[in-house]
């Protein structure tokens, strides 16, 4: 029944081929989905001990988890190029204390690793943490919380791609604010589709400086999010989303809150959405930037917000050139908000600006 419903959503079974765990988890649960590629652990960018503690926590929280194998032959005999359920992470005594229980939806397995596996016909088998990291590509976990709801608002791509939203939370439970856009599966694969370029941030109304920027958790997901620690009160959301390759087929996109029930609405407090974003980042419309003066490294130059010039939908700061005392160096004409960087990373203070030469186009 679920397979048929999934095919109906996208028009036919053919369009559903080659799916990813993150797609299904997001569609069924609507919860934020965490994806970690095991290459990050193998390369030393993520600690294996920290990863194990995360797996234990997700397992204790009963988060739905999934994994997958690559197309090449693996060392433990399991099916390649396939998706599996991760049923549990658990700590044991003995030689291999860190173990994960895996389930093959096909109902059988060929596991021949270091742990016992007497019944290869039920699809369930255990692997060690080392085997898991070395033979499976990634982990996907849907952070589902009992009692949480999805409260959403639909925004027009043409008229509301830059806007301010507001909502109220009546308790102190943590929640997540998400930006959602359609999957490429909704249209012909011949059409050009790409993720949006976006800058979006969430903050409590009385604490704008603590704004959290939305980031994209996975290159495979059509979702970006900002995890909020919680706290009753009024919240605001700055949204700036551009869909450069979707052309006329995309009519709208969605912002939602996953957590306690609430109601998102357009805010009337900010006539100009960029004013809220500047407050969140602690910026004025005119700023002084050290080291960008006419004599590099010896002076600060003045920059003013230019709302008539946009890069990826965000206005630039243009260097002041008339007053010799504040004149900028010719190499530092504009300051541009690096929206692409915000998809994956965020500076500790939440701000990330990049300076470009006037003859260069940011990518």
Q: Where are the domains of the chain?
A: 33-142, 149-280, 284-356
Point out the least confidently predicted range of 116-120, 208-212, 300-304, 354-358. 354-358
Select the more confidently predicted residue: 312 or 232: 232
pLDDT at 329: 80
Q: Which two tokens stand for residue 125?
A: 């088998």
| Mean pLDDT calculated for residue range 119-143 | 93
For the chain, the residue count is 363
CATH number of 33-142: 3.90.70.10
CATH code matching the domain that covers 149-280, chosen among 1.10.760.10, 2.60.120.380, 3.40.50.300, 3.40.50.1220: 2.60.120.380
Which is nearest to 151 in space by CA: 268, 28, 260? Answer: 260
| Mean pLDDT calculated for residue range 37-65 | 95
The CA-to-CA distance between both ends of the chain, in Å, stands at: 44
Q: For residue 204, what are the CA distances in angstroms to 172, 213, 258, 327?
A: 12, 13, 16, 38
pLDDT at 176: 97
How buried is 300 (Cβ within 10 angstroms: 0-12 exposed, 13-18 middle, 19+ buried)? middle
**Contacts with 12 (C-beta within 8 Å, 6 or more apart), sequence order:** none
* Model confidence band, residue 100 (pLDDT cutoffs 50, 70, 90): very high
Phi, psi of 20, deg, nearest 5: -125, 150
How buried is 310 (Cβ within 10 angstroms: 0-12 exposed, 13-18 middle, 19+ buried)? middle
pLDDT tens per residue, range 186-227: 876 556 666 788 999 999 999 999 999 999 877 778 899 999
Residues paired with 36 in a beta bridge: 139
């Amino acid at each position: 029944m679920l397979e048929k419903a999934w095919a109906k959503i996208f028009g036919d079974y053919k369009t559903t081929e080659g799916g990813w765990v993150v797609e299904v988890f997001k569609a069924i649960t609507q919860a934020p989905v965490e994806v970690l590629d095991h290459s990050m652990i193998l390369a030393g960018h993520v600690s294996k001990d920290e990863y194990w503690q995360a797996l234990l926590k997700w397992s204790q929280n009963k988060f739905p988890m999934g994994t997958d194998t690559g197309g090449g032959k693996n060392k433990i005999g399991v099916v390649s190029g396939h998706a599996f359920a991760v049923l549990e992470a658990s700590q044991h005594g003995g030689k291999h204390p860190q173990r994960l229980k895996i389930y093959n939806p096909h109902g059988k397995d060929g596991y021949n690793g270091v742990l016992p596996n007497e019944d290869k016909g039920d699809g369930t088998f255990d692997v060690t943490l080392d085997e898991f990291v070395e033979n499976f590509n990634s982990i996907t976990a849907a952070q589902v919380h009992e009692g949480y709801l999805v409260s959403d608002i639909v925004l027009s791509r043409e008229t509301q791609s830059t806007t301010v939203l507001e909502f109220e939370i009546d308790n102190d439970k943590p929640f997540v604010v998400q930006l959602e856009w359609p999957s490429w599966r909704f249209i012909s694969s011949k059409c050009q589709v790409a993720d949006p370029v976006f800058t979006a941030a969430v903050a409590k109304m009385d604490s704008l400086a603590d704004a959290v920027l939305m980031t994209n958790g996975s290159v495979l997901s059509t979702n970006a999010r900002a995890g909020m620690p919680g706290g009753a009160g009024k919240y605001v959301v700055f949204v700036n989303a551009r869909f450069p390759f979707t052309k006329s087929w995309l009519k709208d996109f969605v912002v939602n809150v996953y957590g306690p029930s609430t109601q998102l609405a357009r805010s009337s407090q900010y006539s100009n959405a960029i004013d809220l974003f500047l407050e969140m980042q602690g910026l004025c419309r005119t700023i002084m930037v050290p080291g960008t003066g006419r004599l590099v490294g010896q002076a600060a130059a003045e920059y003013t917000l230019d709302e008539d010039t946009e890069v990826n939908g965000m206005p630039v700061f243009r260097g002041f050139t008339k007053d010799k005392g504040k004149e900028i160096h010719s190499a530092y004409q504009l300051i541009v908000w690096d929206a692409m960087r915000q998809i994956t990373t965020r500076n500790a203070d939440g701000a990330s600006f990049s300076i470009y030469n006037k003859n260069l186009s940011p990518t």
